[in-house]
Amino acid sequence: MIILYWSDVMCGIIGYIGKEDAVPIIVEGLKKLEYRGYDSSGLAVCGADGFSVVKQKGRLDALIARLTDCPVSANAGIGHTRWATHGEPSDANSHPHVGGQNRIAVVHNGIIENYKQIKERLARKGVVFHSQTDSEAIAQLAEYYYDGDLVRTVIKLLHRLEGSYALGILCADNPDILVAVKKDNPLIIGVSGHGHFIASDVPAVLKYTDRVYYMEDDEIAVLSSGGVQFFNTERERLHKTLETVSWSAASAEKDGYPHFMLKEIMEQPKVLKDTVSGTLGTGRNEQHGLDDIDIRGYHKIVIAACGSAYNAGLVAKYVFERLTRLSVETEIASEFRYKDAVIDDKTLVLLVSQSGETADTIAAMREAKRKGAYTLSVVNVVGSTLAKESDAGVFTAAGPEIAVATTKAFSAQLAVLYLLAIRFGVQIGRVAKDEEQMYLAAVRSLPDKIREVLKETDAIQKYASVCVGYKSVFFIGRNIDCAIAAEGSLKLKEISYIHSEAYAGGELKHGTISLIEEDTLVVTIATCERLYAKIVSNAEQVLSRGAKVLLIGNAPAGDYDGRLVRIRLPEICELFSPSLSVVVLQLFAYYIAANKGLDIDKPRNLAKSVTVE
């Protein structure tokens, strides 16, 4: 069965009800959510005279301009920023969607899989659809069911919808309530003295409150200026715990930097300090179930993740294998979930994710649990699905990461994975007490060493400024440097749109070297002293064919008439050197994209949290 529909699966939703004008609050929230999708945006407010809806294709700035031309205001409203997966961004496909009788307005993040059946049935009853989205079916169906009681209407709706959703629902007959529900997509409820919020994630409300409820699947939140109530789909009252978020509002601002990505690169020394001290128990990092893990009970470690988180797994494989002598497999989560993996209750499966909401990684976790494996998640977002559902979890302390291209969260993931490897190495008796202290001291030295690397920013910026013209770039390394080369290549691709590939240095001569010609750029990572000679000879192989080399590390090498440029790194145990080389790789990619004048924080075709398959 082929279902062709336009769906909105990686969007940001926000809502407010209270004493203040909802419009500026919603616009502010959409600004914080735009990294989730930026193909179109819109809002609807509900006053005594019904809905005012302003929505359109394009970036949020376009919506803000339109709101300046035709201002609307009310004390209750919902907003949406869209990432179109199927079908083109357009005004009609933008959210909010309103029912044909202007009674119910909806913003939706997710997929409605039985949308077609709903649409056909309603169309037979004379309902006219204005968009190609699955989300409009929700608004039209809700209006069809509406009997004056919005909560009862929503409960009826939930029994009919199939798929995933985070919804914000307003009703013109009752402008004093805002209803929100979720299933398989993130949704939080924010509480403040002047009003209450719904949002896809915490940074969208941080300016107004740090007190939030994390919604579970199939829970219904009913917000009014008087307060927030929760119900299940039997309309029984639910009691939920109000939590205080440790992130500050400032952490979701740019602090004067031109881009969130540069700010987040520069935050890495503090992020590493917080993450390391947190994970070692001297800080505030929340953990659960870690003490229950005795690695001696496991024969294999599997690391499953996507994108950069997968690359963190590639690095961690070297560290875990070196310190535990257990075999470690790294798995791309979207493959792992369908490959019938050879795992069992003697397998420890690590799930690594910044957002904790990546659909493929969540599915990999559920598949691992189905096969009896013990699941341990390394996640940055408290309250996320991965964090809640995994058997054990450790949080990175990167704070909100706004730029689509991950940097500080990636570095924090590496630090947590190093500390887990050391912990398991001691547990399994492969790491002696003095070695443990040596490794821990090296990990604790990372914040200062990263500060050292950041002093190379100007040199990296200068080098990057002459690299904007490259159509293709190669990244090479050996062993753990080969793993971090993959992250360097991904960073460059996702924000500069320059094609690049990462290779094991020794693999070049088996084919790829045929692509090396005059002026090809080969970024060479060389931090493993025992392999200096090997990787330098690989660099010489490409230099001899006219390539240019950016050498990251301290391997002794000439400058080949200026065709080899080097960025030195502070000395550190090779197992932790990716935390230093990656900072150079992040800045290199950043400054190339900046020189190209690209939208670095919101690269084309990408979204921060990939909540679909």
Write out the residues near ligand AGP by the rule CB under 6 A: 306-309, 353-355, 358, 361, 404-406, 494, 609-610
Please report how close the Cβ of residue 549 comes to ligand AGP at its closest, in angstroms.
Answer: 25
608 is an active site residue: yes
- Nearest residue to ligand AGP, scored by beta-carbon proximity: 307
Q: Which of 11, 46, 171, 482 is catalytic?
A: 11
Please report how close the Cβ of residue 350 comes to ligand AGP at its closest, in angstroms.
Answer: 13
Q: Which ranges constitute the DSSP H helices of 267-376?
A: 268-279, 307-324, 333-336, 359-370
Q: Which of 182, 548, 602, 608 is catalytic?
A: 608
Buried b (16+ CB within 10 A) or exposed e, 49-74: ebbbbbbbbbbbeebeebbeeeebeb
Beta bridge partners of 523: 475, 550
Please report how close the Cβ of residue 301 comes to ligand AGP at its closest, in angstroms.
Answer: 19
Q: Which is nearer to ligand AGP, 220 or 386 (CB)?
A: 386
Q: Which is nearer to ligand AGP, 72 or 404 (CB)?
A: 404
What sign does the CA torsion over 74, 78, 83, 87 have? Answer: negative
Q: Which is nearer to ligand AGP, 176 or 286 (CB)?
A: 286
Please report how close the Cβ of residue 405 comes to ligand AGP at its closest, in angstroms.
Answer: 4
11 is an active site residue: yes
Q: Which is nearer to ligand AGP, 577 or 609 (CB)?
A: 609
Please report how close the Cβ of residue 607 comes to ligand AGP at its closest, in angstroms.
Answer: 8
Q: Which is nearer to ligand AGP, 144 or 418 (CB)?
A: 418
Q: Which two tokens stand for residue 231?
A: 């119900």
Give the span between the Cα atoms of 20 and 196, in whole angstroms: 10
Angle between helices 307-324 and 480-496 (to 10 degrees): 170
Please report how close the Cβ of residue 83 comes to ligand AGP at its closest, in angstroms.
Answer: 13
Give the span between the Cα atoms of 276 and 284, in whole angstroms: 10
Q: Which is nearer to ligand AGP, 133 or 361 (CB)?
A: 361
C-alpha distance from residue 366 to each of 1, 350, 356, 363, 374 (Å)? 25, 12, 13, 5, 11
> Element (H or E) spanning 156, and its range?
helix 150-160
Give the span between the Cα atoms of 607 and 488, in whole angstroms: 19
Q: Which two tokens stand for residue 586?
A: 């992040």
C-alpha distance from residue 56 to each of 7, 63, 555 (Å)? 16, 7, 54
The catalytic site residues sit at 11, 608
